Amino acid sequence: MPDQPTLRERAQGLWREIRSDAHPVIAPYPERGIAPSWKWDRPVDLMVGRALAAPRPGRHRLAARADAIVAASEALRGLDDDAFDARCADMRARLMRQGLSDPALVDECFALIREATGRELGMRHFAVQLIGGLIMVEGGLAEMATGEGKTITALLPAVTAAMARMPVHVFTVNDYLAERDAEKLRPVYQRFGLTLGVVMHGQETPDRRAAYRADVVYGTNKEITFDYLRDQTSLGAHRGAARRVMRELFGGGAREPLIMRGLFFAVVDEADSIFIDEARTPLILSAEMPANDDGLYLAALELVGQLEEGRHYRIREADRAVELTERGGRVVADRSAGLPQLRWRIRQAREQIASQAIAALRLYRRDRDYIVVDGKVQIVDESTGRVMADRSWEGGLHQLIEAKEQVELSGTRNTMGRITYQRFFRRYLRLSGMSGTVRETAPELWADYGLKVTVVPRNRPNRRRDRGHALHADAASKWAAVAQAVRRVRGEEAMRPVLVGTRSVGDSEAVAAALGAIGIDCRILNARQDAEEAAIVAAAGQVGAVTVATNMAGRGTDIELSPAADAAGGLHVILTAFHETPRIDRQLEGRAGRQGNPGSTQAITAIDDELYTLFAPRAARAVRASARSWPVEGRAADLLRRWAQAAAERRHAATRRQTELSEERLEKTMAFSGRI
């Protein structure tokens, strides 16, 4: 019988396993640590970000490299498949030895990827796409105009890093795009001998774990971040390598294998949406507790229904916040004195549930913030217009909305872990991204993520025409004007396809009703029709097509024009409300005029739209008072939009910063208490 290893030998063996790539299950996460911030760091970082965002000569250097890559790629076209595959295998071996530090080697790899894409997909990267890839492989953020082909641009850094033995995560904004892009590009990855995984909502843990074992993984920001949180929860207090060796040596119970392999290289599509728009609230991993319907939520709704705004509470609708007045607190205490639930006995808990009940009644609206499907309240993502299945509001708010809608109550949720996008993405060893709308957020992207923004020139001149902005007196006149605009485009302009963009499910159905009233059929794309998305998008570029859509038709949606629609003048886009950030408006406008195609846009809004009433109420009243006729067009309408959006952007930036500071303080507190 062989001698048993000594304790020292076992410890040495475990340490070697932990440090080895061959044992991914117990290896500690390869990730970047986050240094504590100093109070002057952010102002300095913002100034540096503004300076780095200015046009710089470096773009010309990248353009020269891109031209050289195109020339090298063209020289590969004469190779037969066997010779080309041999070159690819040799490149992988060289990258595994040398990594990404040699620009000449990266350029040579890009030339191979360009040729492989041509052989497998029938398309070869343009020079501007190569520039975008070079920016990202160096850990930067590329602004590429909408329609410039970001999907195949992501191939360049992803394949290059994966061949250098860096597991790659490619982030998209929804499951539809993750699955679509992965399947479209799979032949190219396979040509280089790389494996490809897709992480989607609803996958079981073993399937997710298997997906992360691939060289390249496609998934959404929420799915991948929650998998990271699940692993951190699984690790508990044993996150350090030394602690894990001690646990293996001296016991401590079996541990579920980790889902991910670490945070190596990230390619983030639609980076401003993920890094900025979705970064105002932390992601919270929670477990559902058994439902306990003791009448608390119905009692809370009934109690606050008797309160008066201004006298008993104040609403800050722009912040989605409710504040009880001193009088309101006393009234809630008096009227809840006879209620049996324990929470009414504790002042802080009593006022918190009352404030949440007011928010459920006054701030959260059906078909805007959520929809009800099969007796369940489902949250609608404000940025993407999509349902966030299995997500819920915290603090009893979700159950209060369920009680308001008279559906079965779900259980409350116990928080197991939380993280902000700022803290998650900064942990990647190399972070990169791209979007069509990041220039204006460059200072914040540098300060929060260390990402330098570089603007990539267009491949072809922009032929999209802007028909201006008409501001109407109310919603009814706005919907009527939208319907007439659609009729005009179809009747006077050879049945061009039209895309009408709305901000909510309810608004999309209001537009459809206005169109139906004048005999125009349309197809609706919103959170209710997400299963039909591919078919609706495929038909949206045909002659005579009228599509009414929420933000689901924004980022990542490529509406391909039929030859007849292109000849008729391309897609016409109508915005029916502006968003808090002009970047989302530009994304919707960018569905028209892609890759040098013809197209046009116009905006038809109402002065009682939420953007104006929440963020520029005084300016809106001034415009209304001074209007001699409706609609208001030209400089006055444009100034009101700019004023309101600037105010909203300032408010959201402050919210993001406050969220990050709160999470930093919470993390320090938990570390001090030994919970992390």
Domains of the chain: 38-282+421-455 (3.40.50.300), 290-411 (3.90.1440.10), 464-652 (3.40.50.300)
pLDDT tens string 12-21: 554 454 444 4
Fill in the amino acid letter for 20. Answer: S
Q: How many CB atoms lie within 10 A of CB 63?
A: 17
Please give the pLDDT value at position 92.
96
Q: Which residues make Cβ contacts (< 8 Å) with residue 180, sequence separation at least 6?
A: 534
Q: What is the pLDDT of residue 338?
A: 87
Alpha-carbon gap, residue 107 to 157, rounded angstroms? 11
Enter the pTM of the model: 0.83
Token pair belonging to 551: 């933000």
pLDDT of residue 77: 96
HSE of 467 in the Cβ direction (CA atoms, 13 Å)?
14
Asked if residue 565 lies in contact with residue 496, where contact means CB atoms within 8 angstroms, the answer is: yes
Within 363-412, strands assigned E span 370-373, 376-380, 387-388
Q: Are 561 and 583 in contact (CB under 8 A)?
A: no
- Kindly tell me if the per-residue pLDDT of 508 is higher than 70: yes
Burial (Cβ within 10 Å: 0-12, 13-18, ≥19) of residue 251: exposed
Sequence length of the chain is: 676
Q: Report the sign of the C-alpha dihedral through residues 528, 534, 536, 537, in that order.
A: positive
Residues 6+ apart with CB under 8 A from 245: 11, 14, 15, 18
Question: What does the alpha-carbon distance between residue 109 and residue 180 come to, in Å, rounded to a whole number?
Answer: 25
The answer to the question of whether 550 is labelled as a binding residue is no
**pLDDT tens digit string along 57-107?**
455 679 999 999 999 999 999 999 999 999 999 999 999 999 999 999 999
One-letter identity of residue 112: L
pLDDT confidence of residue 251: 54
What confidence tier does 190 reach under pLDDT thresholds 50, 70, 90? very high
Dihedral (Cα; 309, 313, 314, 319), 10-degree rounding: -120
Cβ atoms within 10 Å, residue 161: 27
Q: Please tell me the distance from the alpha carbon of residue 164 to that of residue 141, in angstroms, as a whole number.
A: 21
Q: Which amino acid is at 82?
A: D
Alpha-carbon gap, residue 523 to 549, rounded angstroms:
8
Rounded distance between C-alpha atoms, residue 632 and residue 147, angstroms: 32
Q: How confident is the model at residue 240, as a pLDDT? A: 53
pLDDT digits (tens, 9 = 90+) for 569-621: 999 999 999 999 999 899 889 888 887 889 999 999 999 999 999 999 999 99
H/E segment holding residue 489: helix 475-492
Contact 422, 396 (CB under 8 A): no
Q: Any idea which of 249-253, 295-299, 525-529, 543-547 has the lowest mean pLDDT? A: 249-253
Helix, strand, coil proportions of the chain in percent (round to 5)?
A: 50, 15, 35
Of all residues in the chain, what percent carry a pLDDT higher than 90? 60
Distance CA 370, CA 399 (A): 13
- Any known ligand binding at 149? yes
| Dihedral angle of Cα 66, 72, 74, 78, to the nearest 10 degrees | -160
> Per the structure block, which two tokens stand in for 618?
């005084």
Any known ligand binding at 399? Answer: no
Whether the CB-CB separation of 641 and 469 falls below 8 Å is answered with: yes
Q: Is 645 annotated as a binding residue?
A: no
Q: Tell whether 352 is in a known binding site.
A: no
658 is in an annotated binding site: no
State the Cα–Cα distance between residues 612 and 624, nearest whole angstrom: 11
Least trusted range by pLDDT, from 52-61, 192-201, 374-383? 52-61
Q: 84-119 burial by CB neighbour count: b if 16+ within 10 A, else e?
A: beebbeebbebbeeeebeeeebbbbbbbbbbbbbbb
Q: How far apart are CA 165 and CA 225, in angstroms?
A: 22
Residue 631, preceding bond cis, omega within 30 degrees?
yes
Q: In whole angstroms, how far apart are CA 407 and each of 11, 91, 297, 359, 372? A: 56, 59, 12, 18, 9
- 103-121 vs 175-191: helix crossing angle, rounded to 10: 100
Cα separation, 639 vs 650, in Å, equals 17
- pLDDT over 70, % of the chain: 87
The reply, when asked if residue 74 is annotated as ligand binding, is: no
Q: Determine the average pLDDT of the residues in 423-435.
A: 94
Kindly report the number of other CB atoms within 10 A of residue 535's CB atom. 12
CA-nearest of 582, 580, 532 to 553 is: 532
Q: Return the pLDDT at 563.
A: 92
Beta bridge partners of 268: 171, 433
Residue 528 has a pLDDT of: 81
Whether residue 164 contacts residue 99, with contact meaning beta carbons closer than 8 Å, is answered with yes
